[in-house]
Amino acid sequence: MISKYSVKKPYTVVVAVILTILLGVISFLGMKTDLLPSLDLPFVVVITPYPGASPEKVEQLVTRPLEAALGTSSGLSSMNSTSNENSSMIFLEFVQGTNMDSVMIELSGSLDQVKARLEEGIGTPILMRISPDMLPIVVASVDVEGMSLDELSAFTEEEIMPSFERLDGVAAVTGSGLVASQLEVSLLPEKIAVLNERVENHLLAELAKNETELKNAMASLETGQKTLAEESQNQKEQVAKASVELSSAMANLNALLAEEAKLTAEKAALEATRDQLRSVLDMNTIFTALFPEGTENLTLEDLQLILSSMESGAPEAMEGMTEEMISGLSEQVQEAVKTLVAVELELSSLNVRQMTLSAMKPQLQKGLNQSKAAAEQLEAGKITMAVELAKAEVQMATGKTELEKGLAAFEDAKKQALESADLTGILTEEMVKNILMAQNFSMPAGYIEEGDGQILVKVGDAFEKPVDIRDLVVFSMEPIGDIRLSDVAEVEKRDNSDEIYTKINGNNGVLLTFQKQSTSSTAEVSDLIHSEIGKLEGQHENLSITPMMDQGEYIDMTTSSVMENLLFGGILAILVLILFLRDLKPTFVIALSIPISLTFAVVLMYFSNVTLNVISLSGLALGVGMLVDNSIVVIENIYRLRKEGMPAKEAAITGANEVAGAIFASTLTTVSVFLPIVFTEGISRQLFTDMGLTIGYSLIASLIVALTLVPSMGATMLKTTSEKEHKWFDKTVKRYERLLETALKYKMIVVLFAVGLLSLSIYLTTTMGTAFIPEVDSPQMSASYEAPEGLETAEVNALNDDIVERILSIDAVETVGVMRGGGSGFMGFGGGGGGNNGDASTFYILLKEDRSLTNKEVEQLIYENTKDLGGDMSVSANNMDISAFGGSGIQVKVEGFDPDEMAVLAKDVAQVLSETEGTEDVTTGLEDAGEEIRITVDKVKAIREGLTVAQVFAEVSKALSQEMTATQLTEMGASYPVVLLKPIQEGLNRNTVGDLSMVVQQRDGSEKTVILKDIATVEVTESVQSISRENQSRYMTVSASIKDGYNIGLVGREVEEKFASFEVPEGYKITFEGENETINDTLGDLVLMIALAVVFIYLIMVAQFQNLLSPFIVLFTLPLAFTGGLLLLYVAGMELSIIAMLGFLVLAGVVVNNGIVFVDYVNQLRERGVEKHEAILKTGATRIRPIIMTALTTILALTTLALGYGSGAEMMQPMAVVTVGGLTYATLLTLFVVPVLYDLFVREKKKNSMENEASEEVPS
């Protein structure tokens, strides 16, 4: 129907063609060019810093909480984490098709929730989405003859980099090897000592003055105390004297009174004695009168008688007298007289004395009264004075005590003042850092409304030049005024020119790394960079900017190669048409269908966002040969009908309609092989989608062109035909008919031959290696070198210079750039991967365009030239090797619950890997275990001393740190850090770290020094470098590299065979990862795609043939194609890669086309009543030309690509080899095996049942 319309409306077809070409040109100019399809990788990385933490602590305090928070994210497929010293990294993989923008928002929210629960000291988690746009697109070296490194750095930063940063599509330009400056502040003890001396002298003078005043007060107090003591002593003496006098008077008076009393008593006694004596004397007078003769002869009775007659009383007086007494009475009387005289005299004397005493008594009493009065006054004065003296003594004692305390306090205050005035304790790096941060401040505070507008209020003023920092007042002291930073520290601007090492061919240089914006085309940005390089080199004399790694150049090289192969393929296809048709008119019609189909395909690619990349262009290259297939079938059929005499228009309509079903089915089968892509995941799907779409678009375009443009042009250009002789081809057809006749006789031999070759190819496949992406020769290589441990910087630099000379000595090498210490951090897809330490150097190697050596050969020469240097050299033959996406080498993951048991199992696994031929550098990760000084703080002891674990950490960290960044100084647009340098603590090592002292403020305000080892244990232990976890469970990875000359697939297969009998403890398991597993997974996806494609092809053919048997016959061409592809791949010495498997996928859709055409025409002939055997022979003779033509156009279109013509063709070469080999072998055997199988499986039709069987086997 569409053919008939096209023939009748030719101008409509012309308009459609013009529109297609116009849209195609516009679309092509608007398409982005890239190396690979846009890869939307569903990967996210969360990196969290935790300075000073061990891997175990990072796992416990950082990784686990984050995993718990992130593990519930939508679409999460797997989660892997690595806990290293000082940081945690969690790698999240999501299900393909997940909206990563929504995922990033969800993850950000989860991190915000968990951040508040993380311990102090843990940094903010960094959320980063993995994208190929993170990789640099260009790495270029900058060299100016005659410039020093300082001058070159300044020139690059001020002139070169800004020029590139202004380019459209350039996201960032990073310089490596640039001289970086910083303002270093070093506190100088000698300057601080001078200030200390000034402060101390002033303070001592002030203290001496205060001390003198205190001492003078003490002296005055002591004098007062002495005077008070003297007065008190005088008073005491006066009171004592008065007391003595009073006592003397009292004694005299008392003595007088006593004597008076004594005299009175004596007087009374004497008077009694006198009276008695007088009585005796009176008695004696009486006796004398009575007895004048005496009393000697007087008896007692006589006396008593006498006395009784005497007056009263005498008798009583005589009682008791004895005779003796009476006889001695005379003597007694005499004695009494004497005594009486004496008594009288004594009484007289007593009377005199008594009178004297009586006269003295009033005077003594008066004196006594006076003494008493004086004593009472003295006593009263004594009490008053005693009170006053006591008060004075108390006051003086108190004053003395206070003065003594004041003196003691003065001494303490003096000591404290001297200590406080010691600027060494005040001027610390931390204090200066805080001041610099606080003073280098400038921020808007808000706005003030004024009229209709607002005025910004800005507070602060940031530092503008180093002198601002030098003159910064740190603090002010009254005696010495303002103290500036330059008074106590050295402030000097320094650079790292002595530390960096970047050279280009032995000369100092700078490496620039360019990253593009995600929406920009790599090739376009690269072209802009190259254009800017030309301008800059023209503007600046002696400037040389050399791209060392350029994705754009590689893309141009690869795409140009594919485009050349596409062009050559198209030319060869046209030559095939000329050769077979020998008529320019049909050849022109078919040739015209190629650009129109391609243009139509480009329009569809543009509107479906397919970029121009190696994969899509390879699809176009592959499609070129198939584009003409449909047109060939149509034009050949029209041409045949014209030769049979049918009118041009009728032949055009009929010829197109006769084969419309067949070419539609064959096109549909080819397109359908890419439908199973929707069932695959990961990078396979993203890589192959572009190819599937491109081939599908081109084939759909070719089908439309074949059914519209070809009939329309055929009706016009084939009005007149001339018979052309094809003697050589006619002979070929005759030979083919004879061979086909023979094959039909020996059908089983043909089948067994085909099956035998298939079996051989399968066996050979088991000996073939596998690969992810074929290595591609490009003019860019890279390497990394890690110098032996213990070398000084100068020695490492000398080694690098030597390596550069040795690499430059290789004939194929043009330029070598090297930088030490990592630099840009990226080296392209498959960079050598420089180390992470200062002794690791990265080499960028640019090869000559006209080199005779391959990249692999150059790689081997580099290894040979540097093997005697020691250290670790790693060379990447291609900077653009995207196989790095699939991991490296063989990796065996050990999972379990007991780390110790996992370690034992990992060592056993490593032993197996080491014993496998082809492996090297087997590691378990346990070898990286290093020593660490572990300080375990006793929390109880620490808190008793007023310390927490965090404070102990801070003190230890402060003792170990040597510098700290205080702030940033922006000077003339350039910003650089202000760094405070700390002196290295002498004698600090593993044995003395426990002796670190910490000053702790006590509750009473005093300070106490605490020694670290008194509150903590310090021990040297082994530590793991990292802890790996997958889905929140620990695992260990045993990895092995593959030796040169060995294939990852073959070695991996042998490893898996060994582990098939490996005993794994219960509760543990081992799984394979790494490059081999990535390859196997991807190949598995492709096998699934091929299997599904076969099913789709079969179902399409069932719909086409309307029976189940004919499609099966055609389907048998698939193993024929696979046999040819595998055999040619083996002969070419290539590996079974993903690209090669892509060739098999394409074959599945292409190879059945000839079988469909063959079987369809046999069925048509049988439908017309031709006998089966004759129909098979006639079909072979009739269809051999279109079958060979369509096969040859596809084969020759891919020949240049299969031969690896052009730089970068190696990437898609295996696909072309498989397609060429498979299609060649399948085409040859299709002409024999398909007829044989048809003859075997399809019954001969009986005449009486012709219509019934025809209805079963022939499409309606």
Position 532 scores a pLDDT of: 94
Topology adopted by domain 729-767+1106-1260: Multidrug efflux transporter AcrB transmembrane fold (1.20.1640)
Distance CA 1197, CA 618 (A): 11
Over residues 282-340, the pLDDT tens digits come to 666 665 655 555 555 555 566 555 555 554 444 554 555 555 555 565 566 666 666 66
| Region for 584 from its dihedrals, namely left if φ exceeds 0, alpha if ψ lies in -120 to 50, beta otherwise | alpha
Question: 3-state SS string over 871-927?
Answer: CEEEEECCCCCHHHHHCCCEEEEEECCCHHHHHHHHHHHHHHHHCCCCEEEEECCHH
49 near 87, Cβ under 8 Å?
Answer: yes
Which residue pairs, CB below 8 angstroms and at least 24 apart, start in 579-587? Answer: 580/726, 580/729, 580/1185, 580/1188, 580/1189, 581/636, 581/639, 581/724, 582/724, 582/726, 583/639, 583/721, 583/722, 583/724, 585/717, 585/718, 586/635, 586/636, 586/638, 586/639, 586/714, 586/717, 586/718
175 near 512, Cβ under 8 Å?
Answer: yes
If one compares 42 and 401, the residue with the highest pLDDT of the two is: 42
Looking from the CA of 988 toward its CB, the CA atoms found within 13 Å total 16
Instruction: Report whether pLDDT(950) > 90.
Output: no
Dihedral sign, Cα of residue 283, residue 288, residue 291, residue 293: positive
Over residues 566-586, the pLDDT tens digits come to 777 778 777 877 887 777 777
Instruction: Report whether pLDDT(502) > 80.
Output: yes
Determine what percent of the chain is predicted with pLDDT higher than 70.
77
Dihedral sign, Cα of residue 183, residue 186, residue 188, residue 192: positive
Over residues 1065-1082, the pLDDT tens digits come to 888 888 887 777 777 777
pLDDT band at 44 (very low <50, low <70, confident <90, very high): very high
Give 43-130's CATH code, choosing from 3.30.70.1430, 3.40.50.2000, 3.40.50.2300, 3.40.50.300.
3.30.70.1430
The whole model's pTM is what? 0.65
Position 15 scores a pLDDT of: 92
Whose tokens are 């003890």? That residue is 189
Distance CA 326, CA 338 (A): 19
Position 418 scores a pLDDT of: 56
Position 306 scores a pLDDT of: 56
Tell me the range of 486-490, 505-509, 1023-1027 where mean pLDDT is highest.
486-490
Distance CA 619, CA 598 (A): 11
Topology adopted by domain 193-420: Helix Hairpins (1.10.287)
337, amino acid identity: V
Instruction: Report whether pLDDT(164) > 90.
Output: yes
Over residues 124-161, the pLDDT tens digits come to 898 988 877 777 888 888 988 888 888 888 889 888 99
Mean pLDDT of 967-977: 78
From the list 1147, 1134, 1162, the residue with the least C-alpha distance to 1049 is: 1134
Position 1206 scores a pLDDT of: 65
613 near 36, Cβ under 8 Å?
Answer: yes
Q: How many CB atoms lie within 10 A of CB 188?
A: 15
* DSSP-derived pairing of the beta strands 1069-1074 and 170-176: unpaired
761 near 1218, Cβ under 8 Å?
Answer: no
Distance CA 602, CA 498 (A): 55
Q: How many CB atoms lie within 10 A of CB 1126?
A: 26
If one compares 1157 and 784, the residue with the highest pLDDT of the two is: 784
Instruction: Report whether pLDDT(1203) > 50.
Output: yes
Say whether 729-767+1106-1260 and 193-420 share the same fold.
no
177 near 819, Cβ under 8 Å?
Answer: yes
Distance CA 484, CA 487 (A): 5
Mean pLDDT of 358-372: 64
Distance CA 33, CA 622 (A): 19
Instruction: Report whether pLDDT(549) > 50.
Output: yes
* Two structure tokens written together for 63: 């990784």
Distance CA 1153, CA 665 (A): 8
127 near 107, Cβ under 8 Å?
Answer: yes
Angle between helices 1213-1241 and 1117-1131 (to 10 degrees): 150
Angle between helices 682-707 and 584-607 (to 10 degrees): 140
* Two structure tokens written together for 48: 């969290």
Instruction: Report whether pLDDT(348) > 70.
Output: no
Whose tokens are 């490996």? That residue is 1062
SS3 159: helix
Instruction: Report whether pLDDT(602) > 80.
Output: yes
Instruction: Report whether pLDDT(817) > 80.
Output: yes
Mean pLDDT of 1044-1048: 76
How does the average pLDDT of the chain come out, rounded? 78
Give CA separation, 283 vs 307, 315, 344, in Å: 10, 12, 19
Determine what percent of the chain is predicted with pLDDT higher than 90.
6
pLDDT band at 378 (very low <50, low <70, confident <90, very high): low
Lowest mean pLDDT among 345-349, 447-451, 1110-1114: 345-349
Phi, psi angle pair for 465, to nearest 5°: -150, 160
Over residues 1169-1194, the pLDDT tens digits come to 888 888 888 888 888 888 888 788 77
Position 823 scores a pLDDT of: 42
Position 192 scores a pLDDT of: 76
Instruction: Report whether pLDDT(72) > 80.
Output: yes
Mean pLDDT of 1140-1156: 81
From the list 1254, 1259, 1256, the residue with the least C-alpha distance to 1169 is: 1254
* Two structure tokens written together for 713: 């042009």
SS3 39: coil
Query: So where are the chain's domains?
Result: 43-130, 193-420, 729-767+1106-1260, 780-879
If one compares 825 and 686, the residue with the highest pLDDT of the two is: 686
Mean pLDDT of 1225-1246: 81
Distance CA 604, CA 703 (A): 15
Position 210 scores a pLDDT of: 65
Give 780-879's CATH code, choosing from 3.40.50.920, 3.30.70.1430, 3.30.310.220, 3.40.50.300.
3.30.70.1430
Position 603 scores a pLDDT of: 92
Distance CA 868, CA 853 (A): 23
Give CA separation, 418 vs 202, 412, 1005, 1234, in Å: 10, 10, 17, 110
β-partners of residue 800 are none
Phi, psi angle pair for 36, to nearest 5°: -130, 165
894, amino acid identity: V
Give CA separation, 721 vs 588, 642, 647, 692, 1226, in Å: 14, 7, 11, 39, 33
Over residues 670-700, the pLDDT tens digits come to 788 777 776 666 666 777 788 778 888 888 8
| Rg, C-alpha atoms of the chain | 63
